[in-house]
Amino acid sequence: MTKTLLSKKLIQVLLKPYNRIAMMKFKLLVGSCLVLLSLAVVTAQQSANFGQAKFAPEDGKKLFIIGQDLGSVGGLASYRNGYIDLVDADMPAGVTSYTSINNLGGLTTLANWGAGDVRAQSYVDDSDFDNSVIVIGLYLVGILDQIVAGDKDQEIREFANWVKGQDRPIFIRIGYEFEGPWNNYDPDEFKLAWRYIVHRFDELQVRNAAYVWQSAGLNYSNIQRWYPGDEYVNWFGYSQFDGQNMGISIRNLARSKGKPVMIAEATPKIDLGVGDGQSHWDQWFERVFDEIYADDDIKAFAYINADWDSQPMWEGQGWGDSRVQINTTVHELWVEEMNKEPWLFGNEDLFDELDYRGWITSVSDIDRDRLDLRLTSNAGSLHVSFDDAAEIDEVAVFDQSGRMLMRQESCTSCELRFNYDTTQIYHIIVRSDGATLTRKILLDY
Indicate whether 176 and 254 sit together in one domain.
yes
Indicate whether 424 and 298 sit together in one domain.
no
- pTM of whole model > 0.75? yes
Q: Can you name the residues that pair with 134 across neighbouring β-strands? A: 95, 170
3-state DSSP assignment of residue 410: strand
Query: Do the domain assignments include residue 1?
Result: no
Whether a cis peptide bond, with omega within 30° of 0, leads into 283 is no
Query: Do the domain assignments include residue 311?
Result: yes
Instruction: Pick from 292-306, 348-362, 368-382, 404-418 the range whose average pLDDT is largest.
Output: 292-306
> Residue 203: what pLDDT?
87
How many structural domains compose the chain? 2
φ, ψ dihedrals at 222, nearest 5°: -105, 30
CA dist 415 and 383 (Å) reads 5
* Whether the Cβ atoms of residue 132 and residue 80 lie closer than 8 Å to each other: no
Please write the tens of the pLDDT for every residue from 308-334. Answer: 999 999 999 999 999 999 999 999 999
Q: What average pLDDT score do residues 151-169 get?
A: 97
CB burial of residue 366 (10 Å; 0-12, 13-18, 19+): buried
Instruction: Pick from 13-27, 333-347, 408-422 the range whose average pLDDT is largest.
Output: 333-347
Number of Cβ within 10 Å of residue 114's Cβ equals 9
Indicate whether 425 and 286 sit together in one domain.
no
> Residue 35: what pLDDT?
35
Classify residue 225 by its DSSP letter: G
Q: Which of 361, 385, 415 is the last residue of a domain?
A: 361
CA dist 259 and 133 (Å) reads 19
CA dist 88 and 336 (Å) reads 10
Which pLDDT band holds residue 400 (cuts at 50, 70, 90)? Answer: low
Indicate whether 112 and 162 sit together in one domain.
yes
Q: Which of 361, 388, 414 is the last residue of a domain?
A: 361
> Residue 278: what pLDDT?
98
Q: Closest Cα partner for 70 from 16, 125, 15?
A: 125
Query: Do the domain assignments include residue 3?
Result: no
> Residue 362: what pLDDT?
61
Q: What average pLDDT score do residues 280-284 get?
A: 96
The tally of CA atoms less than 13 A away on the side-chain side of residue 261 is 27
Which pLDDT band holds residue 242 (cuts at 50, 70, 90)? Answer: confident
- The mean pLDDT value of the chain amounts to 86
* Whether the Cβ atoms of residue 270 and residue 280 lie closer than 8 Å to each other: yes
Please write the tens of the pLDDT for every residue from 227-239. Answer: 999 989 999 999 9
Indicate whether 200 and 281 sit together in one domain.
yes
Classify residue 56 by its DSSP letter: P
Please write the tens of the pLDDT for every residue from 123-152. Answer: 999 999 999 999 999 999 999 999 999 999
Query: Do the domain assignments include residue 193?
Result: yes
Name residue 34's amino acid. L
CA dist 175 and 194 (Å) reads 8
Q: Closest Cα partner for 134 from 172, 108, 77?
A: 172
Indicate whether 101 and 21 sit together in one domain.
no
Query: Do the domain assignments include residue 295?
Result: yes
Question: pLDDT higher for 424 or 107?
Answer: 107
Sign of CA dihedral 351, 354, 355, 361: negative
> Residue 374: what pLDDT?
86
Q: In which order are the strands placed within the sheet that holds 435-441?
A: 404-411, 392-398, 426-432, 435-441
Indicate whether 369 and 327 sit together in one domain.
no
Indicate whether 331 and 372 sit together in one domain.
no
Please write the tens of the pLDDT for every residue from 19-62. Answer: 434 444 433 433 344 333 333 233 334 899 889 999 999 999 99
Q: Please report, rounded to a whole number, the percentage of residues in the chain having pLDDT higher than 90.
A: 69
Number of Cβ within 10 Å of residue 254's Cβ equals 24
Indicate whether 28 and 165 sit together in one domain.
no
Q: Which of 361, 390, 424 is the last residue of a domain?
A: 361
CA dist 408 and 430 (Å) reads 10
Determine the structural domain holding residue 373 and report its residue range: 8-43+365-441
> Residue 401: what pLDDT?
61
Q: What is the CATH number of the domain that holds 372?
A: 2.60.40.3080
Query: Do the domain assignments include residue 2?
Result: no
Question: pLDDT higher for 247 or 428?
Answer: 247
**Continuous segment of H or E residues that includes residue 138:** strand 133-139
Task: Find the angle CA(170)-CA(182)-CA(71) to the nearest 5 degrees.
Answer: 50
Please write the tens of the pLDDT for every residue from 357-376. Answer: 989 886 434 443 445 788 88
Indicate whether 30 and 121 sit together in one domain.
no
3-state DSSP assignment of residue 108: coil
Indicate whether 281 and 221 sit together in one domain.
yes
Q: What is the CATH number of the domain that holds 269?
A: 3.20.20.80
CA 69 to chain centre: 20
Indicate whether 206 and 354 sit together in one domain.
yes
- DSSP codes joined into one string, 232-266: G-SEEEEEESSSTTTTHHHHHHHHHHT--EEEEEE
